[in-house]
Structure 1
Amino acid sequence: MICLGLGSAVSPAIGQAIVPRTISVDAQSLEKTGQDLLKEAVYLTQFQQFESALSRAQLAAQLNPKAPEGWALLGGLYLNLEQSEKGISALNKSLALDDSNPGVLFSLGSAYFSQADYPAAADSLKSGLKLKPDQLEPLFDLGNTYYKLEQFDDAIATYQKAIAQNEKFWPALNNIGLVQYESGEVKEAMRQWQKATEIDEKTGEPLLALAVAHYKQGNQDQALTLAQKALEMDSRYGDVDFLVENLWGERLVEDTKMVFKLPKIRETIAQLASDAGQSPAGDLEVEEPETLSKPEAQ
């Protein structure tokens, strides 16, 4: 037997683990990468490539969590992709870092409105307008918010501020008409819708509303002509759900259903749906509407 000295023995590497080396991360390098990703996300957003932009904006926000513009862009992308909760969360993170960005407040107002949180929407929009007043679209959004809150006087006053910014902004005129109709001021509503159609002869919404008002006042021939023209301009307005989405109130919707039951209008809606390869929208009954014997009292 040959005995080897301990000094010459080689210990087996059994049970030993390789310890990973710590990688040194340069914070400035990460910040630069985040900025580059944010620029890419902005570029993609301009071309409406929201999904691709979102992944870059998410990573940019992770790399630069203290950059309010990154959270702002991320929030806006979530809203474009109809992910309201995530959008609101990201926008609030941006606001916590910088509460002087009116664009973030305007976007928050829009997001809260989409969730039917009208008090929060009003607060955000008003805060944004304090920072950047006389902005057309936020003023219009605030008017819509007041309308949903049934603060009709405030709604009309805010729509009028929007019109003061752009006298050809027919959506504000149209929505003043919506408010007035729900308030029983039918003739005043008709004046607003008439002005809106004169500004943009190719828009169907105020023309259809005007047709309904004429029908309620007993002007059935004129109502038929206007309603058919409006629906041919934009067949979406033949769908009651679409009208509700566009803030048509209960009174106007119920009166519109009466017009939609007219044989010629039913035929028009069915034909337009057929041309588009769709089934007629809505749950309208098929019985004939009652004939109005006299104009509705104002």
Structure 2
Amino acid sequence: MADFTKAIELNPKFGEAYISRGLLQAVLSDFQGALEDFNQAILLSKDPDPKMNLLWNGTPVEDYESLGMYRRIADNLLEGVEENDQNSRTAGIHKYRGDIRLQLKDTEGALQDYNEAIKLAPKQADAYVARGDYYTQMQQAEKAKADYNKAITIYSESIENPTIKASLFIHYSDRAEVYSKIKNYQAAIADYTQVIDIGGPNLFLSYESRAVIYQQIKDYEAAIKDFSKAIAIQPEFIRIYGRRAIVYLEMKNYEAALTDLSKIIELGKNSQETEEFVVVFAYLQRGKLYQQAKNYQGAIEDFSSLIKLQPNSPESVEVYGRRGLSYAQLKNYPAAIEDFSSLIKLQPKNHQGYTYRCRVYIELKDYNQAMKDCNQAVAIAPNNPEVYFARAGVHSGLKNYSAAIKDADKIIEIAPDFPVGYWVRGAMYFAQNNPSKALSDYELALSKNHKFAPAISSIAYVKYEQGDKQKAIELWQKALTIQDDLTGTKLALAVALYQEGQPEKALSLAKEAIKIDERFKDINHLQDNLWGKQLIQDTKPLLNKVK
């Protein structure tokens, strides 16, 4: 930047310096500064200084050295433009200025510049591509397609009649990119294959580009193969690991994804030039995988690293919620409340912070604070079933089952095909000693999702109270086959097995459940979870054995 500014100070008519500085300012997101430089470059192009030797192919000349122009932003500002073609040079500047105006949301000015660029140099494909991108953004699909097709025609002519054989690499790459814009993915793949066969510079980027197309058409195996070839050529190029990790995630190959995400984090620690957003992505995705695998401490560490890197990024906002949920799973409720409070501070109009914090207060039996948070969540998101589910939990904790039923009714009203509302209402009817209504709602829940394990388990609770222990055992086993993390169900099954004369199996299962959550050793906790009187009575001798 300093060199370009010095060049302009030494010769204010040096248009190339304004263009180069404008490009650099655009890279640095100083779009207003870039716009001013391109404006000046266009003015100079109308009355060029014949003494200024403007080369557009990156060749170093004496004028550059004398003006301190030791670094160029682009090796090729206008590929294929004749050295003395002033119209083409000016067209290129209009194209760049159009890009900047589009960034500044001056859509009318951007279109004017793209039109002027095409008028001055109708054989320059990049102006048509830029205008096609503009029309795409403006949701004018037919105009965008026409411009992309025009660019393809120009690139095709260059490929058929190349003035320099090496330029084929560039033309195939450019045409492939445009083919992908119009979703002609097979043509894009064919062009990237030509680029790879030619074997031009930065071949790893061509493999990466073709892999991205394979990913878009869901040919994941081919995508992985190309990303892997790119990595073999350039093993330190961190972005490609991120792209390959995304494909592994789409394939549900979580172990391979975890390996790539860990590699990104390792490379990020050892490089000063790492793209930070890729490392942020890696911490976020690896944290999610750890959370999914119930490695909550690992998730917390990754989420904490992300927050440290970018404390105010959109990802960090999401991560406060995710880290808080991990803390809650580890029963570190103060840390969870702190994270959810941070989420509320960052997004006061988002119900999730209040909803999550409400659930923690329920666990702490602080129903007053829980109700405040849940009411706030309902006020923010009155059409979201999640907030009523949380508030029903508060009402249940307060033994206000009628109020909980009203919230369950609201869930059903908002999401009638969602099994949770029926299940919650059934649980409240069971708490009110109304087993017939409870069973009816549990069956309704299963009609919405026949694999909804909580409803299957809840039917078993009713059956046990009705004396049908064998049916209860069968249902609890079925529920755990579908969802093996239902701690209360594990203990209930253990109790039933113990009563049916299978003490060894019962004790093993009971110990497993209590190891997961020690609160299930407390009869009061079982009552809070709406266990029936007979089941609680039968649990006492088993708990005595476990102790």
| Same fold per superposition (TM over 0.5) | yes
Q: 2:360 aligns with which of 123, 145, 163?
A: 145
Stretches of structure 1 lacking an aligned partner (at least 5 in a row): 1-28, 244-255, 291-298
Q: 1:42 to 1:163 in 2, by over 3 A?
A: farther
In 2: Cα distance, 1:150 partner to 1:221 partner: 30
Q: 1:259 to 1:196 in 2, by over 3 A?
A: farther
Partner of 1:61: 265
Partner of 1:90: 302
Partner of 2:255: 51
| 1:212-243 CA distance string (max 9 Å, x none) | 43345454543343344345555512566xx8
Letter in 1 for 2:311: D
Number of residues of Structure 1 aligned to a counterpart in Structure 2: 248
Amino-acid identity (%): 16
Question: For 1:64, what is the secondary structure of its paired residue?
Answer: helix
**Post-superposition offset of 1:136:** 4.0
In 1: Cα distance, 2:479 partner to 2:461 partner: 22
Partner of 1:104: 319
| 1:69-103 CA distance string (max 9 Å, x none) | 14333323322333222222222222222222212
Higher helix share: 2
In 1: Cα distance, 2:240 partner to 2:442 partner: 52
Q: 1:72 to 1:267 in 2, by over 3 A?
A: closer
Task: Compare relative contact order (CA 8 Å, sep 6+) and give the higher one, 1 or 2.
Answer: 1
The structure with the larger Rg is 2
In 1: Cα distance, 2:479 partner to 2:262 partner: 42
**Post-superposition offset of 1:120:** 0.7
Question: For 2:311, what is the secondary structure of its paired residue?
Answer: coil
Question: For 1:181, what is the secondary structure of its paired residue?
Answer: helix
Q: 1:186 aligns with which of 401, 422, 429?
A: 401
Off by >6 Å, runs of 4+ in structure 1: 29-32, 271-278, 286-290
TM-score, L = length of structure 2: 0.39
Question: For 1:167, what is the secondary structure of its paired residue?
Answer: coil
**Post-superposition offset of 1:275:** 11
In 1: Cα distance, 2:291 partner to 2:283 partner: 12
Letter in 1 for 2:244: E
In 1: Cα distance, 2:382 partner to 2:470 partner: 35
Q: 1:38 aligns with which of 232, 235, 242?
A: 242
**More deviation, 66-75/86-95:** 66-75
Root-mean-square deviation over aligned CA pairs: 3.9
Q: How do 1:266-281 and structure 2 match up within 5 A?
A: 267=471, 270=474
> Is the 2:354–2:376 Cα contact (8 Å) retained in structure 1?
yes
Q: Give yes or no for the alignment of 1:261 onto 2:465.
A: yes
Q: How do 1:172-251 and structure 2 match up within 5 A?
A: 172-217=387-432, 219-231=434-446, 233-234=449-450, 235-238=452-455
Partner of 1:156: 371
**More deviation, 45-54/141-150:** 45-54
> Is the 2:464–2:472 Cα contact (8 Å) retained in structure 1?
no
TM-score, L = length of structure 1: 0.66
**More deviation, 154-163/144-153:** 154-163
Letter in 2 for 1:96: K
> Is the 1:227–1:265 Cα contact (8 Å) retained in structure 2?
no
Partner of 1:7: none
